[in-house]
Amino acid sequence: MIRAIAYLALTTFLAAATTSLLLVGTTQSSDPSAKRQLVKVLGISDLSLSSEARYTRHPTQADVFAAFQDFPGAFEHFPTGSMIPPRPIGFASQVRIQPSTEKQD
Amino acid sequence: MSPLLTITNLNKIYHRHQPDEVIALRDISLKITAGEVVALTGPSGSGKTTLLSLLGCMSKPTSGSIQLRGRLVSKLPERFLAQIRRTSFGFVFQQYNLLRDVSVLENVMLPLYPSNQSFRVMKKTAGAVLERFELQKMMRKKVKQLSGGEQQRVAIARALVANPDIIIADEPTAHLDSNLSEILLGILANLNTEGKTIIIATHDPAIYQSPLIQRRVSLRHGEIVEDKNQ
Amino acid sequence: MRRQLKILEYTLSSLIRRKAKNFSLIVVYAFTIATLGSVLFLTHALKEEATGSLTEAPALTVQRISAGRHDLIPTHYTTTIKHLPGVKSVTPRVWGYYYDSLIKANLTLIGSNNPPAELLLLDGNLPENPQECAIGKGVADAFGPAIGDNLVLEDNEQKSNRFKITGIFQAESSLLTNDLVILPETTLRTFFSMDPEMATDLVVEVYNPREIKTLAKKIKYLLPDTRPISRDEILHTYDTLFNWRSGMMLAVAIAALISFCILAWDKATGISATEKQEIGILKALGWETADVLTAKFWEGLVLSLTSFLLGILAAWIHVFVFAAPALVPLLKGWSVLFPKFQLTPAIDFYQLFVLAFLTIGPYLVCTIIPSWKTAVTDPEQIMRG
């Protein structure tokens, strides 16, 4: 019965490790007061996750009803056009978004 | 002496009321006394294996009754049948039916899992039986690494591990040469002297003509055609 | 109890017998759980982060809408709003976006008035004099300057403006401040060449938060070209935003889940001839149907529970120790300034429970049902080989 006991011990250990990690995580939640101070002083309304367009930088402030909100070539709203940048059209020279080529120049 | 196993008017029909209906056994009655060595003979398809499995509580008859030590077992629910198979019968199958990827020791231990024995006792019991058949050296080997004769001995060891009263063997010599058949007969003779009842289905003359066999029951088309002591 | 342990022992040894197969199954299973778990952990933690710190966001933000678009708001609207009962203060704000062609990223420029002496998450201090600025960590990393250096930004007339950096926000606040450049309000007005009579929006503070809705209605009535946004709406946006994003990611993950299901279904239901024979042998040797099913139950539980625990552990470590390197590209897209965030672990136990229920449960059923069909038949067939 060595295997059975070893397995039960291992599972108990794994379960205990997982639960304690989960619980420790929730109790550990850092004091948000410093961040709240920042939010209050600067009047921040949004997380600065994706800064490519108004509707992704400030989703709460954006006018989601306007067509072509920021970039005529932007084809959808998923976080910053998902993985693919919009294709530059028109007066594209001003808004070329190809970081790699710039570095090679 | 009161009979150990009594079967009365036993019928077994497969796929009943279907186009491929097969009547395997017809109106069989038989009494087997404790300590007897019985050979069931007959051509293939005569119902030997069906009769063995009914005697061994592996399946239920279509009609008729089976009594073990005076207790009616043919109507018992599956749970009790399993218990009876475990405690009263030891089976040696034609194909051995060993788990090929499993070690010899674990194969022999299989019938003991549902018992109340502790794991340590189980190992000890299995070890003792293996020793008896001089298999203790290959205890850790996998069954598929063994020769046919060795596998046969493992199968017998497994049949005996729970110390049953009745040994049921189905064509035990089908895959053995004459030398190994001799050895097998020797083992069976030993078991009989210990008081075990032995029921063998066979069409090997080396077995049913041997002095060990006390009684020969011949089957044909699912009916008993001859039942004689020899 | 002893019997259960013995059957577990048997199950384990038969699992070990097919170790390559079962090990790869556990790996795939755990990987699927880890993917789903990571998405749940990440989005929940981000949501907590947003709702935790944005509770101090402005109670009401008033924007002006012109031609269906967000437009600058006249500062004299302040007077109208200030006279409404229940309003504590109205502050015009100046902020906007700046595209920097050098690093090819958008920055958010915020004007500040009368900065407080000290901010906890800021190294240095907020700008007090014209031509000074404070910047977020992401901006600092992209441009490479330190406190005391200059940040050069081009205004509308393509004239270079130099701002001395007086403060850099700490990395811990990156989720809020990554792309920020804080300038004194008057400097920012000049930089954007904004009319002094105009502001970007108005921030309204109220005495009683319960009146926010009524106030918003009144503002909308008195100033029909405005759009008031309440704090509740901000928090609600984040709630739905991450539901939506995690929904998208889950949609991607669903492919993994489905392929896993096919694998599990195939493995569990397609009970092989060998397994059938094994069950038959066990039954013939006196195992009860219940014993066989117990063995199968243990088999399913050992595989699924172990995988679940491993997967959840992996997801936790992936998200909270390594900051979700595998998921960030999905959130990031073609972002140039993406914050390096370290999330505070936050777990939704309800979600976790649902995940456990939806993965372990079906797997157990898939394992037991087909064996049950085999286990209830007579062991007689085994005699026939």
C46-65 pLDDT, tens digit per residue, is 888 888 888 888 889 999 98
Six-digit token string for C297: 């139950």
Helix, strand, coil shares of chain C as percentages rounded to 5?
A: 55, 20, 25
CB contact under 8 A, C105 and A37: no
**Stronger pLDDT, A80 or C298, i.e. the higher one:** C298
Residue B15: the pLDDT is: 87
Six-digit token string for B183: 């050895």
Longest dimension (CA), chain B: 53
Question: Which chains border C (3 or more CB–CB pairs < 8 Å)?
Answer: A, B
Residues of B in contact with C4 (CB under 8 A): none
CA distance C10 to B100: 15
Nearest Cβ partner of C17 from B79, B102, B162? B102
Supply the mean pLDDT for chain B.
90
Is C2 a residue whose pLDDT tops 60?
yes
C160-212 pLDDT, tens digit per residue, is 889 999 999 988 888 888 889 999 999 999 999 898 899 999 999 999 988 88
Specify the CATH superfamily of domain B5-229: P-loop containing nucleotide triphosphate hydrolases (3.40.50.300)
Query: Does residue B95 sit at the C interface (CB-CB below 8 Å)?
Result: yes
Helix (H) / strand (E) element for C299: namely helix C289-316
Sign of CA dihedral C210, C213, C216, C217: negative
Residue C252: the pLDDT is: 62
Do the Cβ atoms of C341 and C273 come closer than 8 Å?
no
pTM score of the predicted model = 0.81
C307-330 pLDDT, tens digit per residue, is 999 999 999 999 988 888 888 877
Amino acid at B218: S
The ipTM, to two decimals, is 0.91
Do the Cβ atoms of B10 and B61 come closer than 8 Å?
yes
Residue B219: the pLDDT is: 92
Which segments within B130-201 are labelled E, that is strand? 166-170, 197-201
Is B106 a residue whose pLDDT tops 50?
yes
| Alpha-carbon distance C2 to nearest alpha carbon in chain B (angstroms) | 7
Spans of all domains in chain B: 5-229
Residue A76: the pLDDT is: 54
Supply the mean pLDDT for chain C.
85
Please state the separation of Cα C57 from the chain's center in Å: 19
Residues in chain C: 385
Residues of C in contact with B126 (CB under 8 A): none
Residues of B in contact with C379 (CB under 8 A): 58-59, 85
Sign of CA dihedral B114, B115, B118, B123: negative
Smallest Cα–Cα separation from C257: which of C22, C41, C39, C47? C39
C93-135 pLDDT, tens digit per residue, is 999 988 888 888 889 999 988 777 678 888 888 888 888 999 9
Instruction: Give the Å distances, CA to CA, from B173 to B4, B143, B220.
Output: 26, 18, 21
Interface test with A, best of C39, C48, C51, C56 (most A CBs within 10 A): C56
Residue B155: the pLDDT is: 92
Residues in chain A: 105
**Other Cβ atoms within 10 Å of C201 Cβ, number:** 27
Six-digit token string for C163: 């701002």
Interface test with C, best of A45, A80, A104 (most C CBs within 10 A): A45
Helices (H), C270-288: 273-284
Q: Which of B35-49, B84-98, C349-363 has the lowest mean pLDDT?
A: C349-363
